[in-house]
Each structure stands twice: as structure tokens, then as C-alpha cells.
Chain A
Amino acid sequence: MRSFASLRTTGTPWLLLLPALALLAAFTHWPALATLWHSAMSTPKKARPSRFVGLDNYRAMVEDDVFWQALWNNVIFAAGTIPLSIALAIAMALWVNGRIRGRGFLRLAYFTPTVLPMIAVANIWLFFYTPQYGLLEQVTQALGLPSHNWLGDKSTVLGAMIVVAIWKEAGFFMIFYLAALQGISPSLAEAAALEGASRGQYFRRVLFPLLMPTTLFVLINALINSVRMVDHIFVMTRGGPDNASTLLLYYIYQVGFSFWDSGYAAALTVVVLIVLALVAVLQFGVLERRIHYR
């Protein structure tokens, strides 16, 4: 403040910001806007250059069953992944933060999936789910259950993906809860104990409300991840069988880089941008009131 004002030259901050802003503009702001424009253009073909087609791409989208399936799959994927991984993350954090035997090992076990590349662990899980040979099949066979092709069956493939996503994410979210738990004064628990509260009551009435900002932060991250996380699809199912495991971003990849239909891919990207904008509205409507950046 005070003495600072006189030392400042107006150009300096802009010079400092210039490189970062230029790159952000080129690879975030411009492509986001260009997507809107290109979604109203046709895909250039050999004889016909790209031309303005208005809402044609969106009209095609409304009639595209695969799009609706991908959108619906993504909703299920998010709804299946987020609550469970958050609940598990809270349980993990409470355990690892408590007086449990083998705390070091448990923290390691929970967190390890976070460090591994999704593309690599997807290979492991693919083997895990393999009919007849896979570990899962060996367990179900030992229990005398019928053989099942988890990734080859339309009704179980998305569930199998959700399991992988929960496994990958829960330990990551645990870290944020762990950090929050360590910021909570132990005297609160002592006071609650003196008042005769049970552990369950202490968790519901004291801990959980105190962890609310963390939960909202994690929720935003989880929502973004549910749009972004598609690497495992490439290895495990390629969207199949019959598009039963296609998620939006994976479909954009297919349309844009397998069918090379850039106009339609842009229109699909607009849908993803709208979803992300809704997440942002959620964040600024709910989260921002609780956490202040300054």
C-alpha cells in the first residue's frame, strides 16, 4: 500500500503478465470462443470448403442417438463416481488421521492409485476384468458363481468403469480431507466428549459441517473430473459394447479424430463447455460465499 504506490510504474504488471496471458488467450480463451463459431460451420470436405450452416450441427446432434447415450452415460458415470468416492475419501481420511494400526501403510495404499497413470492402471484393470483368466473371474468361479464378461456386457460395463474411477479418485480426495481434519482443533472433540456426545453425533454435528467447504471444493473437482476422465476408455472398451461406455469427451475424440468431422465435434465441445459453465455457476453461487481468496 502506502509507500508502494509511489514505486509502481503502470507498465510493469502488464509486462509481467504478458507471456502467461498471451498463452492463455491462445490456448484457452480463443479456442473456447472459436468452438462456438466453428460449431456453426460445416466440416470442410475435398471439393467443398467450410461454410456457415447455422444450427445444422445442433440439429444433427438432437437426432444423434449416440450423443444422447454418451450424455446419459456421463450423467450415470458422475452420479455413480462422485458420492461414493467422496464418502470413501472421508472414511479414509478419518482412519488415516486416527489411531489406527498400520496408518502409514494404509495412507500409502489409499493414495497410490493417484500417482499412477490412468492409461497404465487401465491395463491392469482390463486384465482384472478379463473373462475366464482375470482375477475377478477366478474369485467368482471359486465362489461357484457363473462366468461373466464384465466389460463385454452392456449392463455392467459402465459399472465396471465407475469402480475404476472410484478407485483412482478416492485417495486423491482423501488428501484434502486429511488436510482439513488436521486443521480442526482437538479441543472440539474433547468438548463434545465431555458433553457426552457419541462418535456418530460428533461426526454428524461437528466434523461434517466443519468439513463442508472441503466437500464443496472436492465436489467441484469431482464434477470437472467426471467430464475429463476418459483415458481408461481407450484401453478398456473403446466406448463399447454398442456405445454403452462412451462418455462425452471420448465421443468428441471419436467424432473429431476418427471421423474427422470437426464441425460436429465443435458442437459437441460446446455441450461440454456448457456443462463446465454450470459447474462454475455452482462454484460461484455456493462455494465462493464460504471461501474467500483474499
Chain B
Amino acid sequence: MPADAGSLPPPPAFGASPASHALETAAAWLLGLLWILPLAYAVWTAFHPSAFSTRFDPAAPLTLQNFVNAWHAAPFARYFLNTTLLVTMVLAAQLVLGTLAAYALARFEFRGRDLVFALILLQLMVMPDVLIVENYRTMNALGLRDTIVAIGLPYFASAFGIFLLRQTFKTVPRELDDAARVEGASALQVLFKVYVPLARPVYLAYALVSVSYHWNNFLWPLIVSNSVETRPLTVGLQVFSSTDQGVDWSIITAATLMTSAPLLVGFLLFQRQFVQSFMRAGIR
């Protein structure tokens, strides 16, 4: 069933009285406003001089100075670059490794397949996020501490991605696969000519979920990164806002909005795709 909220049939008129309908609408809106309030508050503070950060005067002058100050107060340009590199690297590795593994699990029969699948799914429970102590030890031993590769490496093989792609590949008609093989295509050729193109929407969905996850990830990067050259935005923001800025909230909220901006803007532009991606990623 397509998850298209826009083309829904009108929900059935259930004998709700106009009064209770109005009450429910009011509740929904109250919750909506509460939910958007922290963000609205941050936008207010970031775009006004700090004198107005807690005074809600409609006549307050607008300014971009807070963003300028924040940008110059810490190497945010470098942090943006680091996060971009990290997110791209993780996504690329996840897609390649996930595609290969999912194909093996979806279309080959071999001894131990169920066991392998179970071992992979284990990562859904025991995420790298909780294995920080041992993984730090490993990175140390590999001499990879304080590198962007080390931040991404534990996430390269994603059980979630493998699972999602396996489910998708299983829906590809066998006839397509057989036909390609009869024409002499190898396993890899079949994968890239038949399966990958058909799974494009799932790749997009997975990419959105993965990028927003790793853009936002904090604990593991905090542990392995230790310099401006490797720190992603989240850690950079934390270092910036915890070293005493004279607690200038205007600058801190400006930095906060700045680091979330690419995701937020992307989300506003591609809202429907985002929501559908998360749905698609969740329901399979």
C-alpha cells in the first residue's frame, strides 16, 4: 500500500459531534504548537540581538550577527567538512556492503544461511553505540584513534540496511533473475542490472535515514575524535557550547541552528520523501 498521505480517501464520518471534533482539533493544535515551540524559541533567539533573547518584543530588530559570531568563534567550516566526509563515507560503505550481503541472503541457498542472518540481526539489538569501551580499545590497537575512518568504521556493516534490502530483493520476480542468467549474466551483473535498479526507492529511503542518523550521532564520535581535523559537527558544537562562551545564548542557539540547518532545510524541502522514507524503513 503506498504510504501517500496526500491521496487518502476521506476518513469515515464517525458520529463525532461538531463540539467534540472542535475540541480534538484544538488539542491537536495545542500539541503541535508545543512541539514546535522549542524550535521557534531558538529561531527567535538566534535572529535577534542578545538583549532580546528573553524579551519577546515584536519590534525587536532582526540580525544575522549571532551566526557570524558563532561561525568565527569555532572552526565550524572544518566541522561541516568532517561531518560531510563522515556521512558520505558511511553511506557509501553501507550501501555497497549491504547490497552484496542482502543479495546473498535473498537469492542464494546455502548451509548456515539462517544462522548468518540471525548473527547479522543481532546488531539491531547490540548497536555499536553501547560497545564503546571495546571498540575504543580496538581502534587504539589499529592505530586509528582520532581519524574520521574510526568514527565511521563500526557502522559500515549495517544490519538494518542488510535487512531492508534483503526484504526488497525478495520481492523481485525470479523470472527476471532467471532470464538474465540464461543470457549468461554473472551473479554480480544480475545484481546490478536487475535488483539494484528495482530497489531504488528503498535505497533513497535508507539513505535519508542513514544520513540523518550519522549527522546527528554524538557519543562514539565524542570518544574517538580528539582534534579539529576529525571532529564532526555534533562534537564540535558540544565543545563550543561547553567551553565558556560567557553563556551568550544568542550565539549558542545560532550555532545550534547552524549545525542542524542542512538537515532541517532538507527536511522542509523534501518533507514528504522524508516521512515516507522513515515509514518505508520502519514497516518492512
Contact = CB atoms under 8 A, between A and B. Distances in A.
Report if A and B associate in a common complex: yes
Contact of A269 (B103, B107, B131, B274): B131
B233 to A, nearest CB: 8
Contacts of B122: 28-29
B47 to A, nearest CB: 14
Interface stretch (B57-65, B73-81, B152-160, B196-204): B152-160
Nearest to B96: A19
Contact of A235 (B29, B238, B271): B238
A46 B46 CA distance: 48
Contacts of A120: 234, 237, 256-257, 259-260
Given A117-B218, A123-B252, A234-B218, A4 B174 contact: yes
Nearest to A117: B216
Interface in B55-101: 96-98, 100-101
A124 B42 contact: yes
Contacts of B278: 114, 172, 175
B167 interface: yes
B contacts with A: majority SS: helix
Interface residues of B, number: 106
Contacts of B177: 4
Contact of A92 (B31, B181, B259): B31
Contacts of B242: 235
Contacts of A118: 216, 218
A114 B215 CA distance: 12
Given A31-B134, A120-B260, A106 B32 contact: yes
Interface in A249-294: 249, 252-253, 256-257, 262, 265-266, 269, 272-273, 276-277, 279-280, 283, 293-294
A116 B216 contact: yes
B260 A117 contact: yes
A79 B157 CA distance: 32
Contacts of B135: 27, 31
Interface string B189-213: 0000000000000000000000010
